[in-house]
Amino acid sequence: MTAQQETLFERFLAPVFRTFLIDEAAIGRYAASIDWETACDRLQNPAVVYPDYYCNHNFHGIRGGYLTAGAAVTYDPITQYVLPPQETWVREGLVQAIEARPRRILDLGCGTGSTTLLLKQRFPAAEVIGLDLSPHMLVVATDKAHKAGLDIAFRHGDAAATGLLAQSVDVVTASLLFHETPPSVTQAILREAYRLLVPGGEIVILDGNQATLRQTEWLTQIFEEPFIQDYAEGNLDAWLGAAGFGAVRTQVHWWLNQVSRGVKPKDRPDWEAAETSRYDSDFENGSLPAFGTLA
């Protein structure tokens, strides 16, 4: 097996982060304050099967990828410096692109919940659900929501095969997810999002600017990102269209990123119509049947 070449972060930026930007002692104290086994067991869905791409690759140079406490506690401290000009401004681009007044929002690949919290703050009356494959990341997300006093349901699951009811959400979002998935998985996730959305529902995606990444190759070499070259060479608009979405558009967001939006057409196929009334009645009753499989 060919040895992994050191990333730009490992060669040049890691010493700067450790010396000037990251409080490693504080991160260590936070990690030590959590009973990870108990906390993960509380959130983990035993029915989830981890895809090979997720458990057999390192992400951001962390052995074991996101299925580790180390990834969970270091994600936020580092990410705040790698989404210029300011992380919240970048994430707000997704939130502001939502045109509907959603009653239920599903945030796929929510990670530590940074965008999920912004969604709940923007739409306080909506049910907001964050779904992620890593129970460790969900532990941090749950802690952040609790400290912020936000009522958010975090669930352990695979964005490509959620097992949730069709037509059960108004808006599906994904932040910084698709540059970390193989194109085939990206397309599977988009098809799943289409299935989950009500007719007229929106999907909104924040991720790296594919055009910028193609033109500026060194940007793909900053971190260990196994699938970022495939993402850069792809076309998210085309993937959205292939999944069935209409009114697809992508806008550049702070040069390094892009925000993409698509709408599930209201003239959906007849086979999808059967569960529509169930969504309406269950929502009015205040239940969350679509997520019962992940309880």
Q: Which residue has the tokens 């530590």?
A: 112
**Is residue 155 included in any domain, yes or no?**
yes
**Is residue 291 included in any domain, yes or no?**
no
> b/e for 212-224, b at 16 or more Cβ within 10 A?
ebeeeeebbbbbb
Do the Cβ atoms of 167 and 196 come closer than 8 Å? Answer: yes
Strand-pairing partners, residue 59, are 62
**Is residue 295 included in any domain, yes or no?**
no
pTM of the complete model: 0.87
**Is residue 290 included in any domain, yes or no?**
no
The two tokens of residue 90 are 């970048």
**Is residue 294 included in any domain, yes or no?**
no
Bridge pairing between strands 197-208 and 127-132: unpaired
The C-alpha atoms of residue 277 and residue 30 are separated, in whole angstroms, by 45
**Is residue 292 included in any domain, yes or no?**
no
Residue 189 belongs to domain with CATH number: 3.40.50.150
* Number of domains observed in the structure of the chain: 1
**Is residue 145 included in any domain, yes or no?**
yes
**Is residue 203 included in any domain, yes or no?**
yes
Domain hosting 60: range is: 1-285
CB proximity list for 117: less than 8 A, separation 6 or greater: 144, 145, 148, 150, 152
Q: What is the pLDDT along the chain (295 residues), one digit of tens a residue?
A: 344 556 545 555 666 777 768 899 999 999 999 999 999 999 999 999 999 999 887 776 667 788 999 999 999 998 998 899 999 999 999 999 999 999 999 999 999 999 999 999 999 999 999 999 999 999 999 999 999 999 999 999 999 999 899 999 999 999 999 999 999 999 999 999 999 999 999 999 999 999 999 988 776 666 668 899 999 999 999 999 999 999 999 999 999 999 999 999 998 654 454 444 344 434 333 333 333 333 2
